[in-house]
Chain A
Amino acid sequence: MQRNKFLEMDKIKFELSTRVLKPILIYFEKKYNRQELMDFVRSTSMNLSYLEDEKNWIAYDYYNLFLEELVEYTGNPNATYEAGAYALSKEAYGYLYSLLIILKFFGSPGLTYKRIFELGSSFSNVGRFNVISMKKNKIIVELKFFPGYSQTKLNCLAVKGQLANVPVFWNLPRAKIKETQCAAHGAESCIYEFSWMPRPFKNVLFAIFSTCFMIFEVIFYFFQPSPVLDLKTIIISGLSIAVVYFLNRVYQSRKILKENEKLHTERSLELEMALTTFKKEYEKLHEANQQITDKANKLSIINMIAVEITKATEEDILLQKFLDIIMGSMDFDRGIVLFLNSEYRIYKPTLVKLKSSFDLSGPVIVDDLPECRSFFSGILEPDHPFLLTHHMYILGDKPVERIIIPIRVQGILNYLVSFDNHITAKPLKEANIDFFHTVSRQMAIALDNIFTSQAAHTILANIPSSIVIFDRKSLKISFVNKSYIKSFYINPEDVLGNNILDVIMAKEHYRDKFANQINEVMVTNFLDNQELQTSDNRTVGYTLFKMPKEFGREEDIGIVMKDITEQKEMQDQLVRAEKMAALGTLVSGIAHEVNNPLYGVLGTAEIIHDEAKEEEIRNFASDIIDFTTQAADIVKDLSSYARSMKEEKETEIDINEAIEAALRIVSYSPKFIDIKIKKDMGPIPKIVALGGEIRQIYMNLVNNAVHAMGGRGALTIRSRKNENFIETEVEDTGSGISEEIISKIFDPFFTTKTTGEGTGLGLNIVYRLVTKYSGLISVESQEGRGTRFIIKFPVS
């Protein structure tokens, strides 16, 4: 039934015997399995049993389709070629195979080819093989297709595959195929040239020998006297054949052994080559590993230096550590550091590190030799380390190769570092130069930092002001500079960690004020011109300042202090002198004023002395009473002034009254000749102050005004309350103050008065007294027109 189904004309043409498919079917079955083969054949709309029957025929087209399907199924374009290996296999010949084995003793690959080509015509009606030439190990054959048929690539491969495998039957390698022309590529026919290895001679000899033996046996058998085939003869013949067979087997085994040996030799050669390659690879890896180790080593050196840099605060220690690290990690006999100043002179003992020890004396270097100087100064930028190969006697004892590393700090060549192998004389590696460049830059930065911080530290320590840093809450001191220790005669150990007020021995009542000042400085950042008294009665002037935010120590307060006891005493003396000078002026004024009434008293008394009339005498006596009262008033003013000088207790002071008193006292001055006084004084609140000091402010200002007006002009006094301030003004119509000197008028000892007229402290005292009461003073002046002082006191 099935069979009918596949008996289609296009597939079953009498074109090719199913024999040609045999190797392919075996190939497929071996590669996969029988079930798959059946399925595959079925997919080509054919029946496997049909194809396996060698008596059947198929169409050439079907054959080609089958090959295409095979390639697609296996995914192997060479599948048809590979299938050829089964052309002469046991499976292909079945029971006939053993016959083939026997035959192969008598045949040869060449004969087999010839036979195949002859048989070809009985398998195929599409083309024919024609042997062109035949040599011992070579056969050239032409495959010519009949009209209407043409060669396909896959068929070509299949043919080649089957034919190439012929010598394999003789345990020879596959035949080499040369396709001189191909019909699949447009040629008229395919021409193949098969060549194969010759069969080993011994094998052939053995075949001849055994054949001869067989013939001899047959002759012997037929021509011996007894024609009866006796058992003995048969056994001998059989044994002979068996011996021949086993001898052949022995020979074959030997051959295989030899082949194996050959194979082994080849394998060992291959292994040797692989080993060589492996060795080379290993060497490369080893080299790479060494490079990495070297780099890691250098990195660790850089890292070690970096660690030292963060710790180092002194150049000597850092450079010593640097030598230590390099000598410990790299192979040098000696490391040297030369310290150079800006004139290329060695100003410090040369640092020398040998394998085991430091030596500060170092080699003798004669730096005042011109060669040496020119060598040093010749090391120009960029600061690249270099290999010094020529003999430099100035750098040491004997000619030796060195790596010289210049290190420049702030543009000046400060150090020359040298490494050498003066004992072992091992050559130095050029490759290390770049590494030393990195290291030298690192060192230069570190040394620069040390210099900068040392400079800052030195400046801070030696600045002629005492600087102390303390915590704003605990008041504990965290830093003091040298100047503080020196000027306050303090033991440094008693200072750090202690309360600043205890350390400076501030008077007890002062503590609250100090706490307020610290709060103030947290807002204002800065508090200037402060004073405190110590328990041993010294005066300390100080400025408080807050640490800048960037410093990261916002809880810290800095204080700059100065013992101003002597300065203060001197100032007080000067103030007294000024007071004396003022008193002198006053005394002369008082004298003038008192002398007038006294003249009156004297004159009147003279008259009374000569007068007889009682009534006249009474009148004159009344005059005397007037004169003496006038004099007494003046004395009263004077004594009130004198008392105010001694005042020590602050009371509520009316500034208007203080101004009036000051005006009265100054008006006695001889300069007070032709001066009109204008008063514009409003009601103002009282302030808490020493009355004498407030009077002195206005006395000094009025005195200056009178002086500036040369005894003639208008003096205007104003006072009013302006918001939270008491504002007072003293204005004159005097000579004014020139722009050049207006900024100096509050300076102590600055005066325009001639010697003896003033101490130059008047306005300075005014300034100090005004600021003492947290007041503000300003001045407006126009040369030739007059001056106005404006004083503002906060309402207390």
Chain B
Amino acid sequence: MIKLLIIDDDIHIRKIVRIQLGKTSIEVTAASGRIEAEAHLKKTSFDIFICDIKMKDSNGMEILKNLKTDYPDTPVIMLTGFIDKKYYDAVMELGAYDCLTKPVKKERLIKIIEEALGKKVT
């Protein structure tokens, strides 16, 4: 059972991601921001994180920094609406596994997760 935490302020995104990964062996936990994410992290440990960059009351970059500090071995995939390369470069610099631009097709999302974990998730 693979545990995944998605941090995004947009409930639609959280819902879509949950649906996209619904038929896989991944258990999706969703958080709307930094505080919710921290709460989940206290209770459980996760195998992989998906994090938005721009959120209403949280900064994805800072969350990424904290995650890489606390869980250096856990891959973090950034998911953003931005198309600028500079965001890509910035998050890769901070240790993100990859930075995906919304919208992301289900197959691509699963493929990236599998690559990040180094195993099949079906």
Asked if A388 is at the interface of the complex by the 8 Å CB criterion, the answer is no
Cross-chain contact A600 with B57 (CB below 8 angstroms):
no
The secondary structure that dominates the A interface is: helix
In the complex, which of the residues B16, B53, B81, B104 has the most CB atoms of chain A within 10 Å of its own CB atom?
A: B81
Q: How far is the CB of B2 from chain A (nearest CB, A)?
A: 20
Binds A, one of B42-50, B69-77, B82-90: B82-90
| The residue from A588, A596, A604, A607 contacting B10, defined by CB atoms under 8 A apart | A596
Asked if B119 is at the interface of the complex by the 8 Å CB criterion, the answer is no
Asked if B25 is at the interface of the complex by the 8 Å CB criterion, the answer is no
Which residues of B, 7-23, contact A by the 8 Å Cβ criterion?
10, 12-13, 15-17, 19-20
Contacts known (A588-B82, A592-B81, A599-B13); A674 close to B103, Cβ less than 8 A: no
**Hey, which chain A residues are within 8 Å of B20, CB to CB?**
603, 606
Cross-chain contact A674 with B57 (CB below 8 angstroms):
yes
Cross-chain contact B102 with A595 (CB below 8 angstroms):
yes
Q: How far is the CB of A582 from chain B (nearest CB, A)?
A: 15
Cross-chain contact A674 with B58 (CB below 8 angstroms):
yes
Asked if B54 is at the interface of the complex by the 8 Å CB criterion, the answer is yes
Contacts known (A598-B102, A599-B104, A600-B16); A673 close to B54, Cβ less than 8 A: yes
**Hey, which chain A residues are within 8 Å of B102, CB to CB?**
595-596, 598-599
Cross-chain contact A603 with B19 (CB below 8 angstroms):
yes
Cβ contacts A575-600/B at 8 Å (1 or 0 each): 00000000000001001111111111
CA of A596 to CA of B104 in the docked complex: distance in angstroms? Answer: 10
CA of A601 to CA of B15 in the docked complex: distance in angstroms? Answer: 12
Asked if A437 is at the interface of the complex by the 8 Å CB criterion, the answer is no
Cross-chain contact B12 with A606 (CB below 8 angstroms):
no
**Hey, which chain B residues are within 8 Å of A604, CB to CB?**
16
| The residue from A595, A596, A602, A672 contacting B105, defined by CB atoms under 8 A apart | A602
**Hey, which chain A residues are within 8 Å of B58, CB to CB?**
673-674
Contacts known (A591-B83, A606-B106, A670-B87); A599 close to B59, Cβ less than 8 A: no
CA of A604 to CA of B58 in the docked complex: distance in angstroms? Answer: 26
Cross-chain contact A599 with B54 (CB below 8 angstroms):
no
Q: How far is the CB of A707 from chain B (nearest CB, A)?
A: 15
| The residue from B80, B82, B103 contacting A598, defined by CB atoms under 8 A apart | B103
| The residue from B12, B19, B87 contacting A627, defined by CB atoms under 8 A apart | B12
**Hey, which chain B residues are within 8 Å of A712, CB to CB?**
59
CA of A674 to CA of B54 in the docked complex: distance in angstroms? Answer: 9
**Hey, which chain A residues are within 8 Å of B13, CB to CB?**
596, 599-600
**Hey, which chain B residues are within 8 Å of A606, CB to CB?**
19-20, 105-106
Cross-chain contact A603 with B59 (CB below 8 angstroms):
no
Cross-chain contact B12 with A592 (CB below 8 angstroms):
no
Contacts known (A599-B13, A607-B19); A593 close to B105, Cβ less than 8 A: no
Q: How far is the CB of B43 from chain A (nearest CB, A)?
A: 25
The residue on A at minimum CB distance from B18 is A603
Cross-chain contact A592 with B54 (CB below 8 angstroms):
yes
Which residues of B, 64-122, contact A by the 8 Å Cβ criterion?
80-84, 87, 101-106
Q: How far is the CB of B19 from chain A (nearest CB, A)?
A: 5
**Hey, which chain A residues are within 8 Å of B55, CB to CB?**
673
**Hey, which chain A residues are within 8 Å of B10, CB to CB?**
596
CA of A623 to CA of B12 in the docked complex: distance in angstroms? Answer: 9
Number of A-B contacts (CB under 8 A): 76
Q: How far is the CB of B35 from chain A (nearest CB, A)?
A: 13
Asked if A77 is at the interface of the complex by the 8 Å CB criterion, the answer is no
Q: How far is the CB of A489 from chain B (nearest CB, A)?
A: 49
- Interface size counted on chain B using CB atoms at 8 A: 27
**Hey, which chain B residues are within 8 Å of A623, CB to CB?**
12
Cross-chain contact A670 with B82 (CB below 8 angstroms):
yes
Cross-chain contact B81 with A593 (CB below 8 angstroms):
yes
Cross-chain contact A600 with B54 (CB below 8 angstroms):
no
Cross-chain contact A603 with B16 (CB below 8 angstroms):
yes
**Hey, which chain B residues are within 8 Å of A674, CB to CB?**
56-59
Contacts known (A598-B103, A674-B57); A592 close to B16, Cβ less than 8 A: no
CA of A602 to CA of B17 in the docked complex: distance in angstroms? Answer: 11
Cross-chain contact B83 with A588 (CB below 8 angstroms):
yes
**Hey, which chain B residues are within 8 Å of A600, CB to CB?**
12-13, 16, 103
CA of A711 to CA of B104 in the docked complex: distance in angstroms? Answer: 26
Cross-chain contact B57 with A591 (CB below 8 angstroms):
no
Cβ contacts A177-208/B at 8 Å (1 or 0 each): 00000000000000000000000000000000
CA of A45 to CA of B20 in the docked complex: distance in angstroms? Answer: 177
**Hey, which chain A residues are within 8 Å of B53, CB to CB?**
670
CA of A602 to CA of B107 in the docked complex: distance in angstroms? Answer: 12
Cross-chain contact B59 with A596 (CB below 8 angstroms):
no
Cross-chain contact A711 with B59 (CB below 8 angstroms):
yes
Cβ contacts B25-65/A at 8 Å (1 or 0 each): 00000000000000000000000000001111111000000
CA of A606 to CA of B15 in the docked complex: distance in angstroms? Answer: 13
| The residue from A597, A601, A627, A670 contacting B54, defined by CB atoms under 8 A apart | A670
Cross-chain contact A603 with B54 (CB below 8 angstroms):
no
**Hey, which chain B residues are within 8 Å of A607, CB to CB?**
19
The residue on A at minimum CB distance from B80 is A592
**Hey, which chain A residues are within 8 Å of B16, CB to CB?**
599-600, 602-604
Cβ contacts A666-690/B at 8 Å (1 or 0 each): 0000101110000000000000000
**Hey, which chain B residues are within 8 Å of A627, CB to CB?**
12
Cross-chain contact A591 with B103 (CB below 8 angstroms):
no
Q: How far is the CB of B115 from chain A (nearest CB, A)?
A: 20
**Hey, which chain A residues are within 8 Å of B81, CB to CB?**
591-596, 599
Q: How far is the CB of B10 from chain A (nearest CB, A)?
A: 5
CA of A712 to CA of B83 in the docked complex: distance in angstroms? Answer: 22
Q: How far is the CB of B108 from chain A (nearest CB, A)?
A: 11
CA of A601 to CA of B105 in the docked complex: distance in angstroms? Answer: 11
**Hey, which chain B residues are within 8 Å of A599, CB to CB?**
12-13, 16, 81, 102-104
CA of A623 to CA of B80 in the docked complex: distance in angstroms? Answer: 20
CA of A595 to CA of B54 in the docked complex: distance in angstroms? Answer: 12
The residue on B at minimum CB distance from A756 is B86
CA of A670 to CA of B84 in the docked complex: distance in angstroms? Answer: 10
Q: How far is the CB of B63 from chain A (nearest CB, A)?
A: 12
Which residues of A, 295-315, contact B by the 8 Å Cβ criterion?
none
The residue on B at minimum CB distance from A588 is B84
The residue on A at minimum CB distance from B8 is A596
**Hey, which chain A residues are within 8 Å of B19, CB to CB?**
603, 606-607
**Hey, which chain A residues are within 8 Å of B59, CB to CB?**
673-674, 711-712
CA of A552 to CA of B10 in the docked complex: distance in angstroms? Answer: 76
| The residue from A594, A596, A711 contacting B12, defined by CB atoms under 8 A apart | A596
**Hey, which chain A residues are within 8 Å of B12, CB to CB?**
596-597, 599-600, 623, 627
**Hey, which chain B residues are within 8 Å of A593, CB to CB?**
81
**Hey, which chain B residues are within 8 Å of A603, CB to CB?**
15-17, 19-20, 103, 106
Q: How far is the CB of A668 from chain B (nearest CB, A)?
A: 10
**Hey, which chain B residues are within 8 Å of A672, CB to CB?**
54
The 7 closest A-B pairs by CB, nearest first: A603-B16, A592-B81, A595-B81, A599-B103, A602-B103, A599-B102, A595-B102
- Give me 11 A-to-B residue pairs in the complex whose CB atoms sit less than 8 angstroms apart, sorted by A's number: A595-B83, A596-B12, A596-B102, A598-B103, A599-B81, A600-B16, A606-B106, A673-B55, A673-B56, A673-B58, A674-B59
> Knowing that A596-B13, A603-B16, A673-B59 are A-B contacts, what are 18 other residue pairs whose CB atoms are under 8 Å apart, sorted by A's residue number?
A588-B82, A592-B81, A594-B81, A595-B81, A595-B103, A596-B81, A597-B12, A599-B16, A599-B81, A599-B102, A600-B16, A603-B15, A603-B20, A603-B103, A604-B16, A606-B106, A670-B82, A674-B56
